Amino acid sequence: MHWIGTHLTHENAMWLLSIAWTVYVVIMAVWILLQRSAPVATLSWLLAMAAIPGGGLVIYYFFGPQRLKRQRIKRLRARKTSRVRSGVQRLRERMPGSSARLHQVARLVAATSDFPVSTATDLRLLVGGAATFDAIVEAVNAARHHIHLEYYIFEPDQTGTALRDLLIARARAGVKVRLLVDALGSKRLGRRFLQPLQQAGAQVALFHDTKVGRRLRPVINFRTHRKILVCDGKVGFTGGVNVTDEENARIMPDAYHDVHLRLEGAAANWLQTVFLEDWAYALDKDPGNEPPDLDLLLPDAPEGPLPVQIITSGPDNGLQAIYRAYLAAISAAEHRVWLTTPYFVPTEAALAALTNAALRGVDVQLLVPHRSDSALVTAAARSYFDELIRCGVRIHEYKARMLHSKTLVVDDGIAIIGTANFDYRSFFLNYEVCAIAYGPRLNGDLARQFEQDLEQAQRVHFKRDQSFALRLFDSGARLCSPLL
């Protein structure tokens, strides 16, 4: 009888556990489905959560997708709305022989990101962190009214300390300094490092603090991956270079290989707009209370000969502007698509766009690092290679150092450079910013840099010699693509 009672108790416990697991899965399924993420990402989360009873709830609470809303600065948006209509017309005037497809890309960017085609008086491609920091130091020293910086990674190392000390000097000289850093990417910045900067009069803000307190549900997964510097509203920088010794070849010989963009003219106003809205959001300010010196922050600038369009995306905008811009540009290509990215984890649509272009005779080439700083991302990228090569895409692995450049060259008239990787995280989770330049100027510079980088790269061939274990690992990593 005792055995029967024990057996029944065991059966009851198993029955209760089954019911609890079923209720848990149903609750998690409803929660995940209501987020309305991409089907593949939704299924990945459902499978992952079902496999981790109880703990999955905690993981999804902190790392799962969230709906983020934020207000825009109304006056800035009003300025944009009044200029969007003339953006494509401006492009036609600057490039009278440009194709209808190029105009459609510009129109799509304006519709999804609300940024019109602007112009620059100068565009300068900066190759490597050393050249980038030299140009930044020059611009910061020349600033007279304000210096605005937004970075994903700002390290308290030799490079970061040098820039901080320069900002301290400019703040003491009366220049307004505002520094916005991502709370997770720049987590090593402590009070001791920032205090001298704040004592000099500079303002510092964290984007999406990861600590419980300000938010009931801390935002861990949605980071500002943007790199922006604006001086006096006239000179702007963006690209892939963070403030760290890892990107400064003068300090580390094996520093990341990266590129950055310096632009001057009216287009800097739009980088400024991105910063000001991020700044207001990070400080939780009422967007109706615009800065009193808005006219000095967004000064009138002369039109230049170089058409440029700033584009942003983030989880607060469901239109995925940068993702759509990449797909539109690749689909518009007639001669070449040269893509450089450190993290290649394409969606099905992005994979189809690249293979379709190659199959219709476009010269499609992909440059990725031989080994990125993430073994899982490297493996996921490799899992796509055979399909791409089979369709005619030429793939090259950069072997000299860690490749960190994020660029796209399409034909002779479209060039994209910025902070966005060609992966799920940049397309759907992070706050990103890119510059799209129309015409041969930046396009030619990036094309020449692409060809130079190929000299330190190795071509990837179809049916590579890989062990079974490595092929299995690559295939497993691919299943994690929506979560990377």
Q: Which residues are catalytic?
A: 225, 227, 232, 404, 406, 411
φ, ψ of residue 299 to 5 degrees: the values are: -70, 155
Comparing C-alpha atoms, which of 389, 384, 399, 392 is closest to residue 347?
384
Q: Are 117 and 106 in contact (CB under 8 A)?
A: yes
Comparing C-alpha atoms, which of 342, 345, 326, 320 is closest to residue 436?
326
Q: Are 279 and 206 in contact (CB under 8 A)?
A: no
Please state at what angle helix 55-63 crosses helix 2-34, rounded to 10 degrees: 10
Q: Which residues of 60-86 are buried (b: 16+ CB within 10 A; e: fewer)?
A: beeebbeeeeeebbeebeebbeebbee
Give whole-number Cα distances, 17 to 14, 32, 54, in Å: 5, 22, 12
Q: Are 350 and 320 in contact (CB under 8 A)?
A: no
Beta-bridge partner residues of 205: 180
Q: Give the list of residues 6+ apart from residue 82 with CB closer than 8 angstroms, or none.
A: none
Q: Are 403 and 340 in contact (CB under 8 A)?
A: yes
Give whole-number Cα distances, 353 to 360, 405, 413, in Å: 11, 21, 18
CA distance 313 to 431: 6
